[in-house]
Amino acid sequence: MKYSYLILAAGVYLPFSSTNAEAYKTNSEKASYVFGYEMAGRLGQMNIDVDMAAFLHGVKDQLDKKGMLFTDQERMAIMDAFRADQDEKTHQRSLASEDEGKKFLLENGKKEGVISLPTGLQYKVLKEGDGPMPGGLDKVKVHYEGKLVDGTEFDSSYKRGEPITFPVSRVIPGWTQGLKMMKVGSKWQLFIPPHLGYGKSGAGNVIPGNAVLIFQLELLGIEDK
């Protein structure tokens, strides 16, 4: 297999790349770039720290059809240790998130305009609509933006340029509670404690366990109403 390489530290080689899309002429070259980009994206979503030199060394050996540097027994031991390390990092992140979330909700509940409910949900009315309020069996159309308490944005229908439609009863409890109190045309901020969000498990590697979620939620309409 032929490569064009740049030499990196530790004798590892990196295929030559360019920030210019026109540098890739054939569809195979373009697809190869897409494969690499998307693979890196999946690793990022899994919140895995990758040593780039070692990673590329493994890729090169696989493409060159060389045997792995480690035996099967060593490989299994390495991956078991890695998973244990990742689990511990996830646990520590969850503990830190829980502490941060409790402090946030305590201070946020004192702010002007923020209303705290007995369930633990907090909300602030940014704009009050004058339409009907949905029930638990209704489907609604909304625009939304979701952030963690540190400001990290994890989702946004605004950025996708398209609202979503879903049954009121088939989302996280914090959304269900909030939507049932909103009138069509309203825009609220919802401050959702973990037990009304994704709980101790979180969601993927983007939302940690015990995370407080901050949503800007805009109720655009009720389906068939």
In one letter, which amino acid is 49?
Answer: D
Task: Tell me how far apart the alpha carbons of residues 153 and 143 are, in angstroms, rounded to a whole number.
Answer: 15
Tell me, yes or no, if 215 is annotated catalytic.
Answer: yes
Exactly one of 13, 33, 138, 155 is catalytic; name it. 155
Active site residue 144: yes
Distance of CA 188 to the CA centre of its chain: 22
Pick the catalytic residue from 104, 123, 215, 222. Answer: 215
- Residue among 123, 198, 207, 214 flagged as catalytic: 198
Q: Is the Cβ–Cβ distance between 115 and 123 less than 8 Å?
A: yes
Instruction: Name the catalytic one among 24, 33, 138, 172.
Output: 172
Say which of 13, 55, 154, 166 is annotated catalytic. Answer: 154
Catalytic-residue membership of 198: yes
* DSSP per-residue letters across 36-81: HHHHHHHHHHTT----HHHHHHHHHHHHTTPPPSS-HHHHHHHHHH
Which residue blocks in the chain are alpha helix, DSSP H? 27-45, 52-63, 72-108, 157-160, 173-181
Active-site entry in 144, 192, 207, 214: 144
Q: Is 16 a catalytic residue?
A: no
Residues forming the active site: 144, 154-155, 172, 198, 215
